[in-house]
Structure 1
Amino acid sequence: MAVPVELAPDYYLTNFRALVDFVMARYEPLLSDGERRFYTAFQALDIDSQRLYVRLLSRKGVPSSAGSLFRRSKLVYAEIDDLPRAAERLVEAGLLRRNPELPLGEYLPLFSKAELLACSSTPLPKTLKRQALELALLEQGADQAVLLDALLSTESLLAVQAAEHFETFKLCFFGNLRQDLTDYVLRDLGLYRYEDYPLDRRHLPFQSRAQIDQHLRYYDCLGQMESTLDPGPNMILALAEQLPDGVEGDATLHRRLDRLRLALARQLERLDELEAADQLYRRCTRPPARERRARIAIKRGDIDAGLALCREILAAPHNEAEQVFAESFGYRTARREGHLAGWEPPARYQPPTQTAVLPQAPERVELLAAAYLQEGSFRPQAGQCFYVENSLFNGVLGLFVWDIVFAPVPGAFFNPFQAAPSDFRTPDFYPLRRAAFEQRLAELDSDSLARRVWQHYREKQGIANPLVAWEALPKALLELALARIPAEHWRQLFQRLLSDIAHHRSGLPDLILFPAAGGYELVEVKGPGDRLQQNQLRWLAFFAEHQIPHRVLHVEWQQP
Structure 2
Amino acid sequence: MALFPVTANPLDDPFYYLNNFMQVLDWLEHRYADVLSVEEHAFIRDFARLPRESRALLVRMVMRKGVHFRAGKLSYVEIGDIASAVAPLLAAGWIDETTPLHIEELFEVLLKGEILQCFGALIDQPKGKKADWLAQLSEQFPEAQRFAQWCPALHDRLFTLTIMDLCDRFRLMFFGNLYQDWSEFVLADLGIFTYEKVEFSLESRGLHSRQDVDACVFLHQCQQHFEAGEPVASIVERINGLTLGNPWLQRRRDKLLFQIGQHCERIADFAGALTIYRDCAFPGARVRLIRVLERCGDYQLALDLATLAEQSPQSASEHQHLLRVLPRLRRKLGGPALKRSAPRPMERLDLQLPRTDLALSVEGYVQAHLAEELAPVHYVENSLINSLFGLLCWPAIFAPVPGAFFHPFQRGPADLLHEDFSARRAELFDACLAELDDGRYRQTIRERFAAKWGVQSPFVFWGVLSETLLDQALDCLPAEHLKHWFNRLLLDIKANRAGMPDLIQFWPQHKTYRMIEVKGPGDRLQDNQLRWLEFCHEHQMPIAVCYVQWAEPGV
Please give the TM-score of this superposition, normalised by the length of structure 2: 0.90
Is contact 1:384–1:514 with CA below 8 Å preserved after alignment?
yes
In 1, distance between residues paired with 2:145 and 2:237?
Answer: 41
Q: State yes or no: 1:322 paired with 2:318.
A: yes
Aligned-pair distance for 1:333? Answer: 2.2
**What residue is the counterpart of 2:447 in the other structure?**
455
Q: Give, as a single letter, the amino acid of the residue that structure 1 aligns with 2:194.
A: R
CA RMSD of aligned residues (A): 2.6
Q: Per-residue deviation at 1:510? A: 1.7
Answer yes or no: is 1:31 the counterpart of 2:27: no
2:432 paired with 1:437? no
The residue that corresponds to 1:64 in the other structure is none
| 326, 339, 360: which one aligns with 2:355 | 360
Deviation of 1:254 after TM superposition, in Å, equals 2.2
Aligned 8 A contact 2:147 2:158 in 1: no
**How much has 1:334 moved relative to structure 2?**
1.5
> Is the CA contact 2:101–2:147 (under 8 Å) kept in the aligned structure 1?
no
Q: Distance in 2 between matches of 1:142 and 1:513?
A: 70
Aligned to 2:221: 220
Secondary structure of 2:228's counterpart equals: helix
Verify the 8 A CA contact 2:195 2:411 in the aligned structure 1.
Answer: yes
Partner of 1:70: helix, strand, or coil? Answer: strand
After superposition, give the CA deviation of every residue in 1:418-474 in whole Å (9 maximum; x if it has no partner): 221112233332222123324543553251321321232233223222211234222
Structure 2: unaligned runs, 5 residues or longer:
1-8
Q: Report the counterpart of residue 4 of structure 2 in structure 1.
A: none
Aligned to 1:502: 494
Mapped to 1, the partners of 2:195 and 2:430 lie a distance apart of: 26
Shift of 1:44: 1.6
Q: Which residue of 1 aligns with 2:129?
A: 129
User: Which residue of structure 2 lines up, in the alignment, with residue 52 of structure 1?
Assistant: 57
| Equivalent runs, 1:272-421 vs 2, <5 Å | 272-340=268-336, 345=340, 348-349=343-344, 351-362=346-357, 363-375=360-372, 383-421=375-413
Name the structure 2 match of 1:512: 504
Take 2:142 and 2:65, find their aligned partners in 1: how far apart are those partners? 32
- The 8 Å contact of residues 351 and 551 in structure 1, kept in 2 or not, is answered as yes
Seen in structure 2, the aligned counterparts of structure 1 residues 42 and 352 have a Cα distance that, compared at 3 Å, is: same
Does the 8 Å contact 2:519/2:547 carry over to 1? yes
Mapped partners of 1:469, 1:104: distance in 2: 49
Is the 1:38–1:162 contact (alpha carbons within 8 Å) kept by the matching residues of 2?
no
CA–CA separation in structure 1 for the residues paired with 2:181 and 2:253: 22
1:221 and 1:141 mapped to 2: Cα distance?
31
- Structure 2 SS opposite 1:555: strand
Partner of 2:5: none
1 CA distance for matches of 2:208 and 2:408? 18
Structure 1 partner of 2:537: 544
Deviation at 1:135, TM superposition (A): 3.7
Seen in structure 2, the aligned counterparts of structure 1 residues 246 and 480 have a Cα distance that, compared at 3 Å, is farther
How far apart, CA to CA, are the structure 1 residues paired with 2:356 and 2:146? Answer: 70
After superposing the two structures, state which structure 1 stretch, 438-447 or 23-32, moved more: 438-447
Q: Give the counterpart of 1:556 among 534, 549, 553.
A: 549
Distance in structure 2 (CA, Å) of the matches to 1:187 and 1:337: 59
SS at match of 1:525: strand
Q: Provide closer, same or farther for how the CA distance between residues 121 and 299 of structure 1 changes in structure 2, counting only shifts above 3 A.
A: closer
Q: Distance in 2 between matches of 1:6 and 1:361?
A: 47
Contact kept in structure 2, 1:327 and 1:346, CA below 8 Å:
no
CA drift of 1:42 comes to: 1.6
CA contact (8 A) 1:71 1:158 kept: yes
- Distance 1:199-1:517 versus aligned 2 partners, 3 A rule: closer
Measure the CA separation in 2 of the matches of 1:175 and 1:405.
Answer: 18
Counterpart residue identity of residue 302, structure 2: G
Which residue does 2:88 correspond to in 1? 89
Task: Determine the C-alpha separation between the residues in 1 that align with 2:204 and 2:60.
Answer: 32
- Cα distance in 1 for partners of 2:147, 2:434 equals 77
1:42 maps onto 2:47 in alignment: yes
The residue identity in structure 2 corresponding to 1:101 is P
Range with greater deviation from structure 2 (4-13 or 50-59)? 4-13
SS of aligned partner of 2:546: strand
Q: Write the distance in 2 (CA, Å) between the matches of 1:160 and 1:118.
A: 26
Q: Distance in 2 between matches of 1:13 and 1:369?
A: 52
* Pick aligned residue for 1:20 from 15, 25, 29: 25
The alpha-carbon distance between structure 1 residues 115 and 440, as it changes in their structure 2 partners (threshold 3 A), is: closer
Conservation of the 8 A alpha-carbon contact between 1:349 and 1:537: no
Within 5 Å, which residues of 2 pair with 1:107-126? 107-120=106-119, 122-125=121-124, 126=126
In the alignment, the residues of structure 2 paired with residue 407 and residue 158 of structure 1 have an alpha-carbon distance, to the nearest angstrom, of 45
User: Conserved in 2, the CA contact under 8 Å of 1:94 and 1:161?
Assistant: yes
Structure-2 residue corresponding to 1:174: 175
Name the CA distance, whole Å, in 2 between partners of 1:130 and 1:239.
33
Aligned partner of 2:473 in structure 1 is 481
What is the rounded CA distance, in whole Å, between the counterparts of 1:101 and 1:196 in structure 2? 46
- Report the alpha carbon displacement of residue 46 of structure 1 after superposing the two structures with TM: 0.8
Distance, in Å, in 1 between the alignment partners of 2:118 and 2:393 is: 67
Residues of 2 paired with 1:123 and 1:146: CA distance? 20
The answer to whether the 8 A contact 1:328-1:345 is kept is no
Query: Aligned residues, how many?
Result: 539
TM-aligned CA deviation for residue 102 of structure 1? 4.1
**1:170 partner amino acid:** R
**Aligned partner (choices 236, 251, 257) of residue 255 of structure 1:** 251
| CA pair 344-220 structure 1, distance change in 2 beyond 3 A | farther
Residues 388-421 of structure 1 deviation map (CA, whole Å, 9 limit, x = unaligned): 2211111111111111011110111111122211
Verify: 1:240 aligned to 2:236, yes or no: yes
C-alpha distance in structure 1 between counterparts of 2:40 and 2:461, whole Å = 40
Question: CA separation in 1, counterparts of 2:274 and 2:83?
Answer: 58
Change (3 A) 1:429 1:139: same
Amino acid paired to 1:131: A
The answer for the alignment partner of 1:72 in structure 2 is 71
DSSP 3-state at the match of 1:137: helix
CA spacing shift, 1:383–1:108, aligned 2, 3 Å:
closer
Q: Which residue of 2 aligns with 1:529?
A: 522
Once the two structures are superposed, what CA deviation does each residue of 1:181-234 show, in whole Å capped at 9, x if it has no partner?
2111111111222222101323333222222221111111111112235xxxxx
Contact 2:499 2:529 survives alignment (8 Å): yes
d(CA) in 1 for partners of 2:72, 2:112? 17
Distance 1:350 1:72, change over 3 A: farther
**Equivalent position SS for 2:512:** coil
SS in 2 for 1:330: helix
Give the conservation status (yes or no) of the 8 Å contact 1:7–1:188.
no
Q: Secondary structure at the match of 1:28?
A: coil
Paired AA for residue 209 in structure 1: R
Distance in 2, matches of 1:521 and 1:213, equals 53
Q: Which amino acid in the other structure matches residue 547 of structure 2?
A: H
Instruction: Flag the 1:122–1:469 CA change in 2: closer, same or farther, 3 A.
Output: closer
Instruction: For residue 371 of structure 2, give the secondary structure of its aligned residue in structure 1.
Output: helix
Partners in 1 of 2:224 and 2:142 — Cα distance? 35
